[in-house]
């Protein structure tokens, strides 16, 4: 008696594709898998957080200073209009918008694809970077205890107020919003395109066999 042969229509087990495709690897169109996208998004968030320190230092350097003066009993603004305070917020927002746009452009140039993970990484990193920038500017800026500062310099002597953000919520959103908009725009303009579907002849050829 002879051993049964493998049917010709069934491939031999040793003929299977090797190695097996990696579920975390890139898709056929070059888009990375989910695990890779999550790693990339995490790196983007961490780098954005570190870049927030630079934003804070730039804000500390470029923001207009608010001048205060004491009469020995109370502390007053040198400029009653408060334009310097508005300029402090405006400087932070403009810098944050620029950081967000640059971050989005760099991420797109490096990865050359979109994806919700990268967009969320940019957004989260923008918020964290803005919070760190705010903290750096306040920490390394003028003394935060205004009363103690006024007592130390004496009456009728001008001194700088601590850096503050009057519109902190809007300032914290400037970076992530700019990053998401720029990245989505670059992806829409220069990102990979889905292949066009191959349609059959139209109108149908008379007498054609239906598959």
| 154 CB neighbour count, 10 Å cutoff | 10
113 within some domain: yes
Please give the Cα distance from 49 to 44 (Å, whole number).
9
Q: What is the pLDDT of residue 75?
A: 77
Tokens at 26, concatenated: 């890139």
137 within some domain: yes
Could you report the per-residue pLDDT of 81-101, keeping only the tens digit for each?
556 668 899 999 999 999 999
Side-chain-side CA neighbours of 8 within 13 Å: the count stands at 0
Domain of 70 in residue numbering reads as: 45-190
What total of structural domains would you count in the chain?
1
> What pTM was estimated for this model as a whole?
0.72
37 within some domain: no
Residues in the chain: 211
19 within some domain: no
185: helix, strand or coil? helix
Could you report the per-residue pLDDT of 187-208, keeping only the tens digit for each?
988 877 655 555 555 555 555 5
The proportion of the chain whose per-residue pLDDT surpasses 90, expressed as a percent, equals: 40
Q: What are phi and psi of 100, to 5 degrees?
A: -65, -45
204 within some domain: no
Tokens at 138, concatenated: 């306040």
177 within some domain: yes
22 within some domain: no
Q: What are phi and psi of 33, to 5 degrees?
A: -75, 175
Please give the Cα distance from 174 to 169 (Å, whole number).
9
Contact between 112 and 189 (Cβ < 8 Å): no
Q: Would you give the distance in Å from CA 203 to the centre of its chain?
A: 49
Could you report the per-residue pLDDT of 131-180, keeping only the tens digit for each?
999 999 999 988 888 778 777 877 777 778 888 898 899 899 999 999 99
Could you tell me which of 65, 61, 75 has the C-alpha nearest to residue 140? 61
| 24 CB neighbour count, 10 Å cutoff | 13
86 within some domain: yes
């Amino acid at each position: 008696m002879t051993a049964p042969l493998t049917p010709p229509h069934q491939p031999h087990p040793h003929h299977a594709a090797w190695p097996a495709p990696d579920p975390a690897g890139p898709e056929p169109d070059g888009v990375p898998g989910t695990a890779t996208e999550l790693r990339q998004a995490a790196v983007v968030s961490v780098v954005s957080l570190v870049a927030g320190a630079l934003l804070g230092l730039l804000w500390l350097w470029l923001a207009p200073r608010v001048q205060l003066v004491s009469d020995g009993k109370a502390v007053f603004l040198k400029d009653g209009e408060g334009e310097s305070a508005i300029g402090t917020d405006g400087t932070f927002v403009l810098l944050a918008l620029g950081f967000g746009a640059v971050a989005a452009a760099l991420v797109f140039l490096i990865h050359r694809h979109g994806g919700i993970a990268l967009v969320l990484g940019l957004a989260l990193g923008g918020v964290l970077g803005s919070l760190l920038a705010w903290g750096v500017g306040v920490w390394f800026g003028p003394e935060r205890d205004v009363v103690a500062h006024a007592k130390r310099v004496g009456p009728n002597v001008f001194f700088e107020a601590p850096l503050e953000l009057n519109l902190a919520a809007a300032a914290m959103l400037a970076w992530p919003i700019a990053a998401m908009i720029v990245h989505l725009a670059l992806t829409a303009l220069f990102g990979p395109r889905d292949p066009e579907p191959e349609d059959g002849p139209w109108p149908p050829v008379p007498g054609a066999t239906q598959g």
